[in-house]
Amino acid sequence: MLNIDREIPHIRFFDGLRLQYRQEVVRMTEKKRRIVITDFEHRLLVKALVQFRNELLRTEKPTEDINDLILKVIDAPKRRRWR
Tens digits of per-residue pLDDT, 32-73? 888 888 999 999 999 999 999 999 999 999 999 999 999 999
Q: Which residue has the higher pLDDT, 10 or 43?
A: 43
Residue type, 20: Q
Q: Within a domain: residue 80?
A: no
- Helices assigned H by DSSP within 13-82: 39-58, 64-75
Q: Dihedral of CA 5/7/13/14: which sign? A: negative
CA 25 to CA 9: how far, in whole Å? 14
Average pLDDT of the residues in 67-83: 84
Q: Based on the domain organization, do 28 and 45 belong to the same domain?
A: no
Tell me what pLDDT residue 26 has.
55
Q: Is 23 left (phi over 0), alpha (psi -120 to 50) or beta?
A: left
| Domain presence at residue 46 | yes
pTM for this entry: 0.59
Assess whether 3 and 24 both reside in one domain: yes
- Can you tell me the distance from the alpha carbon of 41 to that of 76, in angstroms, rounded to the nearest whole number? 13
Which residues constitute the domain of residue 61? 39-75
